[in-house]
Structure 1
Amino acid sequence: MAAKPVKAAIGEMWINCQVCGSERFRERDVKLNSFGMEFMKLAWADETATGLICWRCGYVHLFVNREIKLYRADT
């Protein structure tokens, strides 16, 4: 099943792609693995970021800000 496009905002500010200016993204969680945690076999405990993949050009934006809100985008 294909991912549905979303729009994203932090507070009152809408997020646009830094490359092409699009406002539609695919969302996924991204693990921020560190060497130390990988070495100790604790990578599962590393921090997770919200990845927004631009629907138009594919550029990946990463956010660790937990205030980010996702909204369904019209297709």
Structure 2
Amino acid sequence: MKKNARKVEIKGNPLACPVCSADEFWERETLMNTAGATFLGFDWANKPAKNYICDNCGYVYWFLR
């Protein structure tokens, strides 16, 4: 999987890594699993979170919609 790092803005504010101060991130979506949905086999029904991963050090930001 090729990761395309880019600068990101959240509500008009530039995102910067709190660990290394880098300003380029790649993104992915991750399901926010809940115990109940997992127990019943409904993981697919959980809400997704958008992740921005620092291209320099790997720090992960999580944002819910």
Task: Tell me the SS of whatever aligns to 2:7.
Answer: strand
Residue 32 of structure 1, CA deviation: 0.7
TM-score by length of 1: 0.79
* 5+ residue gaps, structure 2: none
- Identity fraction in percent: 34
2:31 aligns with 31
Kindly state the Cα deviation for residue 25 of structure 1 after the two structures are TM-superposed.
0.6
RMSD: 1.1
Answer 1 or 2: higher relative contact order, Cα 8 Å, separation at least 6. 1
Alignment match, 2:51 = 51
The 4+ residue runs of structure 1 with deviation greater than 3 A are none
Amino acid at match of 1:64: L
Q: Which residue of 2 aligns with 1:41?
A: 41
1:1-75 superposed matches below 5 A: 1-65=1-65
Q: Match of 1:6, SS?
A: coil
Residue 11 of structure 1 deviates from its aligned partner by: 2.0
